[in-house]
Structure formats: structure tokens, C-alpha cells
Amino acid sequence: MSESAVPATGTDNTPSAAMPGPSKWLALAIVALAQLTVVLDGTIVNVALPDAQAALGMSDSDRSWVVTLYALAFGSLLLLGGRIADYWGRKRSFIVGMAGFALASGIGGLATSGEMLLIARGAQGVFAALLAPAALAMLNVTFPRGPDRAKAFAVYGTIAGGGAAIGLVLGGVLTEYLSWHWCLLVNIPIAIVAIGMAIPILKESKADGDTRYDIPGALLVTLGLGSIVYGFSRASLGWDRFDTIGFLALGVALLVVFVIVEGRVGNPLLPLRVVANRIRGGAYITSLLVGAALLGGLLYLTLYFQIVLKFTPLHSGLASLPMTVTIIASATIVSRILPKVGPRILMTIGPIMAAGGLFWLSHLSVADDYFVQILPGQILLGIGLALVFVPLQNVALAGIEPRDSGVASAAVTATQQIGGSIGTAVFTALYASAVAAYLSANPSSDASAGFVSGYSTVFMAASITVLCAAPIAYFFVSVKRDAFAGGAA
């Protein structure tokens, strides 16, 4: 996760940068725990969803909101969370964010109804939006330069990628041998350790200068995105319904007002100069489309494993690992060739390969051979995602002024999360329509066949979505390869 480590204006008061050697490595361990907590939460919950849905009597639509609410709250509040961390204090924001995240996790883990779980997931997203940028900002000021900085960010990045794999397996183990509740409760001991280390070790740092918050901007973007996502969620009942069209129109109107406000306030939440650049704008659109396909589409692969193929939660987690392993392995290779070929060709080929993997997965059946029908699609998808993700952050920061580097970096994570929340809502509507249409046309068919029809529709839609990122990258991401020389990747 990336967030604002550089204030929009003013200087930065960074006493933690002067930490002695042992202390700064302990600070890295604390930040790593925070990152692990946020990353674990996404994949653990995916694996636990079928059991949680059955235990709490949730509908398929409510089930999708368990994922959507977290991504929506996280993505829409991420920029504001970075500003709060910069202005209020990074250590203070870190501790409050971690404590709040743990409390929300406890409420979710002890949930006795679907509503209680959904409220907890939304609260997790709110506190994650404060925790993640505070953690990264402290890492940035603790390791301001030199070889130690490269090592620290390598550790951080490894956890960002490997944490997802850990979450899949840990979620399977906890769900199968304890219960789905522990997939949320596991965040509590991690938070206790992180806070216990943070209080004596971390030093406070904050930004000086203009520290006014853009509250109107934060409210407009949050309400606008929420209205759009809710409108898409209502589409499962009909695309021509008044509430579907009304909420979508309201969301678009609020976002238009947000753009107008950001162009007029003195200290905007998202300076328009950041997104108006053609190259960065192309990177953000690519991030939005890939996030929608990845977070919104792959939720259904986990459901396919457990509901149709009858995999146990543990086996489901293990069956999901090849894609994560492929991303990590491919990323190492891509980072080496990026300075030689530049980002444009990689970010064009990547969505095409990812779309191919999702297209492969769209040809599912009730009784597939995992190694023949699923594994090739996962590997192809993993390679494609690595081709996009490795250069994406660097492209988003291409030519950016130092004062805007934090918000430009944060926008990448925000667009991925927002894309995921919108994608999940849209794909859920498509899934429900496809299942209903199949069972109506084949009333004597087994329900699993209807589910597979819905999953196939989702993967096909996700394939088309991510494929749209290829021409965007080709025509907009025209960064010269010289910009990545010297190991910038």
C-alpha cells in the first residue's frame, strides 16, 4: 500500500530519520506487521466467506458486500488518511489505526449476524485507510536515503506480495481447524504486538506548513463513490430500476462536484495537476481497470473451489497460491527488463495476458480438472498482473513534483481498491443475472451448473475489463525507458 509520505505544502519534521541502527530495523519490523495485517485481511476473508455466509444466513448479494465495503472504505478514505497521518502525527495515527483495526476485527470475528459483520468490515476499511499510509510514511522518514532504504522497501514490498499468499493458506487453516471467526480475530494478537513495540520504539513525525484538511473533498468523493457502488449493487435486481439509475446518477454528479471543488480549494485532497497529466492519468485508469478485474473477479474463483468443486478451505487456499507465486516470480524478472524495454510495452502486453488467463477460467465446468482447466489460467493471469504492477507505481510518479509524490503514489492504491469495490458490485449483478437465466432455462438442472454459469460470466466480464487497459497503456503511458535506468524499478 502506498500513501502520502510527503505533504502538499510545507516541510517535514522527521526526527525518526535519526534513529540509531537497531531501532530503525525494529521500526521496520513494526511497519511490516502493520502491512501484513492489512494484506492478510483481504485474502483471509475471501477463503472464509462461504462458511461465514452459511453461518450468518447471508444472501449472495450480502456476501459480496463483505468484500466491497472494506475496499470502498479503504480506497475512498486513503487520501484523507494520508493527510491525517502527515498533519496529526504518523506515530499517533499508526497506533490509533492499528487499535481501531483490531477492534473492528474483533467485532467482525464475534459477529452473530450479517449486518454486524458488514459494519465491522466497513470499520476495518476506515482504520486501514489511516493505518496503511501512516505505516508507509514512517518507513519513508525512518529510511530517508541510502542502501538501507532499498532494503527496507524490499522487505515492505515482499510482504505486500507474499502476505496475500500467507493469507490464503492461513485463512484455510483457521477456517478448517478452528472456525471462520478466527480469520478476523487473528488480527488482534498481531495488533497487540505491533502497538506494544510501537509505543517505546517509534518516534513521532509530522508535516509542517499548511495543515488544513479538505473535508468537503473527502465527503464528496466518499459519498460519490459509495453511491456508484450501491447503484451497481442494486443492478442485480434490474438495470432499469429507478434506484439503480438514481444512485448511479447521483454518484457521478457528486464526483463532478468533487472535481470542481478540488480545483478551487487551497489545499486539495487530490490536486488536479496530479491526475491531469496524460501519462499519470493513463496509469490510474489502468490501475482502476486491473483492480476491478482482480479484486472483483477472483473472489468468485475461491467460491468456485469451495461451492462447486467442494474443496475444503485449506485446499482452496492452496489451490489459489499458484497465481500469487507466479506474480512474485515474474515480478523479479520484469523488474530487470523494465529499464531495457520501458513500461509501455510491458503495461500493454500485461493486460492482454491477464485477459487471456481470465478468458481461460471462463470455460469452467461442474467437474473440472484443476491442473488442466484452472492452473494454466492462474499462471497466465499472474504473469500478466506482474507485467502491469511492477512499472505501475513508477509510471504514476513519472515527472511528479516532490510535494505531490505522496498523493500521486496513494492514488494508485486508491484506484485499485475503488476499482475492486465497483468491480465486485458489477460482477455480483452479472453473476446473479446469469444464474437466474440459466436456472430458468434449465429448471431441472443441478444448482451447481447454475453457479458455474454465473462464475463463467464473471470471468468473461473481468477478461473484457482488464483487456480495456491494454490500449489505455499503449496510447497514454509513453514514458521513456531512460527514466527507469539505474535500477529505478
Continuous segment of H or E residues that includes residue 13: strand 12-13
pLDDT at 158: 62
Please answer whether residues 286 and 347 qualify as being in contact, where contact means their C-beta atoms are separated by less than 8 angstroms.
yes
Q: What is the dihedral of CA 151, 200, 4, 38, to 10 degrees?
A: 80
Strand blocks (E) in 370-450: none
Of 111, 107, 137, nearest to 123 (Cα)? 107
pLDDT at 17: 44
Q: Give alpha helix (H) positions in 239-312.
A: 242-262, 272-276, 278-297, 299-303
pLDDT band of residue 15 (cuts 50, 70, 90) is very low
This prediction has a pTM of 0.79
pLDDT at 249: 93
Contacts of 450 (CB under 8 A, 6+ apart): 435, 438, 439, 442
Report which DSSP code applies to 457. Answer: H
Instruction: Specify the amino acid at residue 380.
Output: L
Q: What is the dihedral of CA 132, 134, 140, 143, to 10 degrees?
A: -100
Count of residues making up the chain:
489
pLDDT at 100: 95
What is the Cα 379 distance to its own chain's centre? 20
pLDDT tens-digit map of 360-380: 999 888 877 888 889 999 999
Of 11, 25, 19, nearest to 203 (Cα)? 19
Of 2, 4, 1, nearest to 402 (Cα)? 4
Separation CA 426–CA 234 (nearest Å): 9
pLDDT at 244: 85
Strand blocks (E) in 157-219: 206-207
pLDDT tens-digit map of 178-193: 888 998 998 999 899 9
Please answer whether residues 171 and 46 qualify as being in contact, where contact means their C-beta atoms are separated by less than 8 angstroms.
yes
Secondary structure tally for the chain: helices H, strands E: 18, 2
pLDDT tens-digit map of 42-99: 677 878 888 888 888 888 778 878 877 888 888 888 888 878 887 788 888 889 999 9
Please answer whether residues 89 and 205 qualify as being in contact, where contact means their C-beta atoms are separated by less than 8 angstroms.
yes
pLDDT band of residue 140 (cuts 50, 70, 90) is confident
In percent, how much of the chain has pLDDT > 90? 20
pLDDT at 14: 46
pLDDT at 402: 55
The average confidence (pLDDT) of the chain is: 81
Continuous segment of H or E residues that includes residue 391: helix 375-396
pLDDT at 339: 79
Higher pLDDT pick, 24 / 9: 24
Cβ-count burial of 146 within 10 angstroms (0-12 exposed, 13-18 middle, 19+ buried)?
exposed
Q: How many Cα atoms within 13 Å fall on the side-chain side of residue 172?
A: 20
Which cell is 94 given?
A: 499508526
Name beta bridge partners: 393: none
Q: Is the pLDDT of residue 205 over 70?
A: yes
Q: Is the pLDDT of residue 468 over 90?
A: yes
SS3 207: strand
Separation CA 455–CA 298 (nearest Å): 10
Higher pLDDT pick, 235 / 346: 346
pLDDT at 348: 93
pLDDT tens-digit map of 390-423: 788 677 766 666 566 667 767 777 888 888 888 8
Q: Is the pLDDT of residue 484 over 60?
A: no
Q: Is the pLDDT of residue 337 over 70?
A: yes
Q: Looking at beta carbons, which pairs linking 112-116 to residues 24 or more positions away fall under 8 Å? A: 112/56, 113/56, 114/56, 114/57, 114/58, 114/62
Q: Give the residue-averaged pLDDT of 322-340.
A: 83
Which cell is 173 given?
A: 487453516
List C-alpha distances in Å: 87 to 78, 130, 207, 266.
Answer: 14, 12, 5, 16
